[in-house]
Amino acid sequence: LFEGSFHRGRASIAVVCASVPQRRPQRLMFAAAVDQCASCPDTTFETGDALLDKAPELARCTMRHAAKTCGMCWSRPCACAELFDAPVECSPKLVVVAHPSELMRTTASAPLIPMLLQRASFTVWGVHTGEVDSALQSGASVLFPSDEAVTISPATWRGTVLIPDGSWQRAQAVVDALEKRASFLGLPKPKRLQLSEASIKSMHSPLVDALHEGSGPGRCSTAEAVALACKEGGDDEACSMLTEATKRLASKIATSLPKPPPSRSSQGLPPRAYDEKAWVNALAGPARVAPLVNGVRRCVVCGAGLARADALANHVRGQRHRACVARNAFDDGAIVGPPCNESAAKVFRDFSTIPLSDAPREPPDVALAE
């Protein structure tokens, strides 16, 4: 019987289960690794990257904002039953090293790897330092392209492989940090593994397409990159498992993200009979002084994706957003004549500020904005 908070209790159970490795529940160990992010100590090792050097602080802040998010599928509400099957064998031991800005992101594919592949584990840079050090000391390879990288084959897809997780730029930062950590430990630079050019060219990512329509060809998420690596390394069952799970994740994301409003012509409606240009110009003033919430990465008004967690202020001032606000207001019957300062302020409040205040926010984006 363990006394303590729910998260600490689950972590304690994981410790007991870990004492009998052959019975260790894959999913419970992943959940325990995520729970550890809520109370991780600060680190003194410096990488030179502003976010990685604040990883523990960012992880703790993210977990505070993730109270209603499932700790295993990172979804709200829980989608574990929809996404996960029983884990299958994979030749190498995979260790995901996530950038702290990816922790608890509902669109992340990283949880699929430790949940679906046996012996795979999950770490966050700056939080699970001991696990990362152990992997480096075991002679682990890194799945990330470079001029010196070796193409994956059944002969090279063995041992321990570190999987950096994040956007391309942030995954590169994780790889650089891994190399600096290896040097700090007195170890040689980890060797690189990379996917074949043919695999990348033939790839069409449903997950990337769900996030950025039309951007899927030639790109892949973390889980999809591991699936391709499994295929090249001879782990066909693992490849199939990850590929199908990623498709389910993409489908879930596609149905949950806000979409741009459909055009009137596509609905068989006549053009809007109002002075749109005058209204768009009139909304510029309210847009400059509108109160905003932190951490919104996708506009629920016009469906636009935002590159940064603090980009909303510039977005709402843009012409595209103001035009969409005016069109939505006209379609709702809120615009009946030419604009004035009072009517423009009311329209912007009702059709931009209030909807955005209820927009879904990712826990790591709220942490980054803070």
What is the C-alpha to C-alpha distance for residues 113 and 99, in angstroms, rounded to an integer? 15
122 three-state secondary structure: strand
Cβ neighbours for 318, distance < 8 A, ≥ 6 positions apart = none
- Give dist(CA 110, CA 103) in Å, integer: 9
User: Can you name the residues that pair with 124 across neighbouring β-strands?
Assistant: 98
Instruction: Give the percent of the chain with pLDDT over 90.
Output: 68
pLDDT digits (tens, 9 = 90+) for 67-110: 888 888 998 888 888 888 888 999 999 999 999 999 999 999 99
Least trusted range by pLDDT, from 111-115, 303-307, 343-347: 303-307
Determine the pLDDT at residue 202: 92
pLDDT confidence tier of residue 310, bands split at 50, 70 and 90:
confident
Q: Report the pLDDT averaged over residues 313-336.
A: 92
Query: Given a cut of 60, is residue 195 above it in pLDDT?
Result: yes
Tell me the average pLDDT across 172-179. Answer: 97
Q: DSSP alpha helices (H): ranges in the chain?
A: 6-18, 26-36, 55-64, 80-83, 112-116, 129-137, 168-184, 197-202, 206-211, 222-233, 236-256, 276-282, 284-289, 312-317, 319-331, 341-348, 354-357, 363-369
Task: Quote the pLDDT of residue 22.
Answer: 46
The per-residue pLDDT for 3 is 64
Give burial (CB, 10 Å; 0-12/13-18/19+) of 248: middle
Contacts (Cβ under 8 Å, ≥6 apart) of 112? 83, 84, 223, 242, 245, 246, 249
Is pLDDT of 38 > 80? yes
* pLDDT digit string, tens, across residues 229-277: 999 999 999 999 999 999 999 999 988 887 766 666 666 777 778 888 9
Beta-carbon contacts of 308 under 8 Å, excluding residues fewer than 6 positions away, are 297, 368
Residue 211's pLDDT band, with cuts at 50, 70 and 90, is confident
Mean pLDDT for all residues in the chain: 90
Q: Are 246 and 230 in contact (CB under 8 A)?
A: no
Confidence at residue 306, expressed as pLDDT on a 0 to 100 scale: 84
Query: pTM for this one?
Result: 0.84
Strands of 192-194's sheet in order across = 121-124, 93-98, 160-165, 141-143, 192-194, 150-151
Token reading at 93: 């031991």
**Low-confidence winner among 36-50, 146-160, 302-316 (lowest mean pLDDT):** 302-316
